[in-house]
Amino acid sequence: MGKSKQEKFILWFGEVRIEDVPFVGGKNAALGEMYQELVPLGIHVPNGFAITSYAYRYFLEKAGLAKQIKEALRGLNTRDMKDLQGRGKAVRQIILKAELPAELQKEITQAYEKLGKRLGVAVRSSATAEDLPGASFAGQQETYLNVVGGKAVLQAVKKAMASLFTDRAISYRVDKGFSHFDVALSVGVQEMVRSDKASSGVMFTIDTETGFDKVVIINSSYGLGEMVVQGKVTPDEFVVFKPVLEQANKGILEKDLGAKKQKMIYAEKGIKKVQVPERARKKFSLTDEEVLQLARWGVAIEKHFSAKHSRQEPMDIEWAKDGLSKKLYIVQARPETVHATAEKNVYKEYRLKEKKVPLVIGMAVGTKIATGKARLIEHAKNIGNFQKGEILVTEITDPDWEPIMKIASAIVTDKGGRTSHAAIVSRELGIPAIVGTGGSTKKLRTGKTITVDCSSGDEGMVYAGAAKFKIIEHKLDKVPETKTHVMVNIGAPDEAFKNAYLPVQGVGLGRLEFIINSYIKIHPNALINYKKLNGKVKKQIDALVGGYADKTQFYVDKLAEGIAKIGAAFWPHEVIIRFSDFKTNEYRQLIGGELYEPVEQNPMLGWRGASRYYDKRFRDAFGLECEALEKVREEMGLENITPMVPFCRTPEEGKKVLALMEEHGLSRKQDESLRVYVMCEIPSNVIRADEFLEIFDGMSIGSNDLTQLALGLDRDSGIGRTIANENELTVKHMVEMVIAKCREKGKYVGICGQAPSDYPEFTKFLIERGIESISLNPDAVMPTIMQIAKLEKEN
């Protein structure tokens, strides 16, 4: 009769299931589960075997190590860095100096020879208590890549076992209340994928910053994956939308080109770092097809593990592409532990109360704000200087830094991306981090008070001094349902995933201006006429547009990515995207803007909105906006996007714009699901509402401009401020007329101006007149829903 699993030294992936965590640890159990269940579905997982926790304990017992280790750790103070470092080293030496039992050596060597079809193997630790909700042991132990030959494998196995007692692992177990002897180590030995000749990286089946669960985030760089996992390279990043993945070639919302300056490749024995050629850096390290295949695999893996655990289980996955076979492989998968344990019913919103000029800018990790004294540390050997509550400023972190990271109030690094070590650990600790700043170690000084602000989307800012901020708590289970649709106004796409939690029924106003200003920064005509340009403007464009041969495609792609993020965040609800409504003075601020924009005395009343779109000086640029919207609806599969035309002075103008939209692929004849709205913000929109509603599918009231034009005011001027109020009777009469006309014709009518956010009595008026939807700024959504519910009850 054969041995049971708990008495075996070696278990092959084909023998292991997720229930076997006590025998093979979290990583190996997940690999075995995928190898058995998901390989038959077409997901590639390299074969391998696990050296069991029984083998680890057998080694400790046979070599008499447990007593020595206990003695070495007696009286340990994990807050004393020198004490921790000295004792950790002593324990590792005890294990490394001991000989593996001969019978264990024999079985490991035989299993390696049976597996050894490749140049080398990956030897990875797999702790029996890792990847539990609330206790992610990711990165606590070591990984050894391209290990070649039986002797080298035995040495790597012993090193992996010793790494159960790295300083950070000892400290982490003490903090989490685990005994050092309750946790055992299994070691995985897996075929190496030749990603040194291709690319590799990580994938999350959730947005790691906001917990938005309808996307897959893929990071990719050239060479072996450790560079991405350790955050030592800025990778390419892809955002893929889950709900449309089953449709052919649809789902990629965003692609960001990373610097990818270095890669890790095989050396004769082991690995080495080399520079990536300039040409390769300017290309994406994955094709669109490969991105979609990985995303589909990620969704399948999440679905499988969610079914196993009877709850949604977002996954943190490592993948690699083999440069010889050109095949993709999944090499690790574990539960994403940060959002799994987050309180789902309460949303805390951090909001800065004052505007400041940032000292440094980087990628935001999380959505919080923190203040504290900066502590600049260049090397891990100096972490003993760090004081609790300080803000850690350094070039990059790795697991050796964890003992001080957990007592930091925030972290700022020069290097790394959203999946770097600093980012992963700060998420787990629930502290804000800003990574990839490029120069924080040169600009920030030890002892100076700073504020780390991650509350404003993808970009994180570091400010001098203690900036004032507030925390707003939202209880999501106490939100009543309303007959009036409550929607949200979204400016920057970075805010979309963060605000997706809001109990709204879509987006009443998404502004293209934010995308153009923040992501593109270039006047569209300068891109259209790029070949005719020279000098400073051309250099500025080259610096931003990078690898795009077709400069106008850059404009279309970046617009589409911004629109798509907003559309995905609030899917399947309607998302109304307004075509660009810059005035001439605002367009002049863009790179190349002065070449194409006239100087107007009153731009607010000048060349803006519809009159701009069909003008021969701008019609090609408007065509690019249409192409971006069409790309989002058709290529990305987000049919919940509805375009809206602003500042349309006459129905005749409206017809010209609709004809141009049709020319550029936005045709209601070809696409029955497409609707087109017009802004109601000029008295002519009210007076000729019947005619406008003959050609458009609805109206969205822009109360700011309507107030300005109805009362003959300039809202950019402080004069007349006392009467510039939507509660003025003229404005209310106009709003009332538009609502009545739209309802009479069965057309959409909403409001997206500031008035309902500012004036509760105006909201009451809108409800009484039967408005279909009210769109608000994010901070006004929760209180206004409560008010609407009360008003509806009263009526």
CA-CA distance, 211 to 327, in Å (whole number)? 30
Element (H, E) at 645: strand 641-645
Joined together, the tokens standing for residue 365 give: 């990790």
CA-CA distance, 285 to 236, in Å (whole number)? 7
Instruction: Find the length of the chain.
Output: 795
CA-CA distance, 390 to 84, in Å (whole number)? 20
CA-CA distance, 501 to 489, in Å (whole number)? 14
Instruction: Write the single-letter amino acid at 477.
Output: D
CA-CA distance, 50 to 125, in Å (whole number)? 9
Cis bond upstream, residue 243 (ω within 30): no
Q: Catalytic: which of 454, 648, 680, 752?
A: 752
Q: Is the dihedral of CA 655, 656, 662, 665 positive or negative?
A: negative
Element (H, E) at 218: strand 215-222
Q: At what angle do helices 53-62 and 102-115 cross, to 10 degrees?
A: 150
Element (H, E) at 91: helix 81-97
CB proximity list for 257: less than 8 A, separation 6 or greater = 236, 282, 284, 546, 547
Q: Catalytic: which of 421, 485, 523, 664?
A: 421
Instruction: Write the single-letter amino acid at 557.
Output: D
Q: Catalytic annotation on 648?
A: no
Q: Please name every residue paired with 710 in a beta bridge, in sequence order, or none if there are none.
A: none
244 CB-side CA count, 13 A: 23
Rg (CA), the chain: 29
Q: Catalytic annotation on 304?
A: no
| Residue pair 523/591 in contact by the 8 Å Cβ criterion | yes
CA-CA distance, 70 to 61, in Å (whole number)? 13
Instruction: Write the single-letter amino acid at 578.
Output: R
Residue 573, classed as helix, strand or coil, is coil
CA-CA distance, 70 to 84, in Å (whole number)? 14
- Report the 3 state secondary structure along 2-24: CCCHHHCCEEEHHHCCHHHHHHH
Joined together, the tokens standing for residue 175 give: 């903090």
CA-CA distance, 477 to 473, in Å (whole number)? 12
Joined together, the tokens standing for residue 198 give: 């291709």
CA-CA distance, 143 to 230, in Å (whole number)? 11
Closest CA to 30 of 448, 256, 334, 317: 334
C-alpha distances in angstroms, 547 versus 9, 256, 257, 350? Answer: 52, 12, 9, 37
CA-CA distance, 699 to 738, in Å (whole number)? 8
CA-CA distance, 573 to 640, in Å (whole number)? 6
671 CB-side CA count, 13 A: 18
| Residue pair 465/391 in contact by the 8 Å Cβ criterion | no
CA-CA distance, 466 to 442, in Å (whole number)? 20
CA-CA distance, 579 to 676, in Å (whole number)? 11
Q: Which residues are catalytic?
A: 421, 752
